[in-house]
Amino acid sequence: MAPQPTKSLSVADIAAPETRDGTVLQTRDVHKIYQLGETQVHALRGVSLEIRRGEFVAIMGASGSGKSTFMNILGCLDKPSSGQYLLEGTDVSQLEKKQLAEIRNRKIGFVFQGFNLLARTTALENTELPTLYSRVNKVEREQRAMAALKMVGLADRMDHFPSQLSGGQQQRVAIARALVNRPSILLADEPTGNLDSRTSVEVMEIFQSLNDSGLTIILVTHEHDISQFAKRTIVFRDGKVRRDEGVTNRARAAEVLKTMPVLED
């Protein structure tokens, strides 16, 4: 059957209309303690933060600072030992695993350092995957995936397998996959860690474009240059927020790309 024509999808369509303004997430005195034998490891020590809809936040910190633990809690992959995590007004810190899985699928899009694409599956099919767990019929599933791939500049690569795509193109597929369920928040964990300098900036150009259109983005990175594409940086150390400030002289990826050489294949 011939693919149905796709309508243009904007990030305004991705964010739920009733929650486009105000606070999208808030943590209140969040602690996370891991029990390793007889030893307690305090990964987070009373973290209280608020992130409003439309922000682009870079979370930074050395290994062991607590930034990854915090990201896991924001992504509903883990629960705090104490304290509250409110996602769009809902205290998700008290929810059961099944409820957390449903929230992850509906409200949060994930982009990882490793692209995590299925090798024997096309870009279009990889992008469709999250919709398999949603109440979306086959036609709409394909339309959403095609629109998301078009949004990240891969309209002409939909039928390609991961092995036929460059690293940057694979990460674009991963971003499209994260957008296909129209999440409230995009969480990106070291998304440029496996990419060269120019491709990293190209990914930041996509993120800035998505954010300019209203999508809330939270990015974990250890690269200072990458953090400068965000609007706000939060620095963790020893399980606490040590610095939280706006980015001055924010870099615009589209302008930076003009100064960079084009890499030959």
Q: Are 57 and 247 in contact (CB under 8 A)?
A: no
Write the pLDDT tens digit of every residue in 164-209.
999 999 999 999 999 999 998 999 999 998 899 999 999 999 999 9
Which pLDDT score is estimated for 125? 96
Alpha carbon dihedral 149, 151, 156, 162, in 10-degree steps, equals -40
Closest of 215, 210, 246 to residue 19, by C-alpha: 215
pLDDT beneath 70: ranges in the chain: 1-21, 263-265
Whole-prediction pTM: 0.87
Q: Where are the alpha helices (DSSP H) in 47-133?
A: 67-74, 97-107, 123-128
Which pLDDT score is estimated for 265? 53
Q: Are 90 and 33 in contact (CB under 8 A)?
A: no
Q: Which residues contact 195 (CB under 8 A, 6 or more apart)?
A: 167, 168, 171, 203
Identify the burial level of 204 via C-beta atoms within 10 angstroms of its C-beta, where 0-12 means exposed, 13-18 middle and 19 or more buried: buried
Q: Chain centroid to CA 134: how far?
A: 19
Which pLDDT score is estimated for 13? 43
Closest of 208, 171, 213, 178 to residue 192, by C-alpha: 171
Which pLDDT score is estimated for 94? 85
Identify the burial level of 78 via C-beta atoms within 10 angstroms of its C-beta, where 0-12 means exposed, 13-18 middle and 19 or more buried: middle
Helix (H, G, I), strand (E, B) or coil at 54: coil
Identify the burial level of 134 via C-beta atoms within 10 angstroms of its C-beta, where 0-12 means exposed, 13-18 middle and 19 or more buried: middle
In angstroms, rounded to a whole number, what is the distance separating the alpha carbons of residues 158 and 48? 42
Which pLDDT score is estimated for 134? 80
- The token pair at 176 is 């499209």
Q: Are 68 and 105 in contact (CB under 8 A)?
A: no
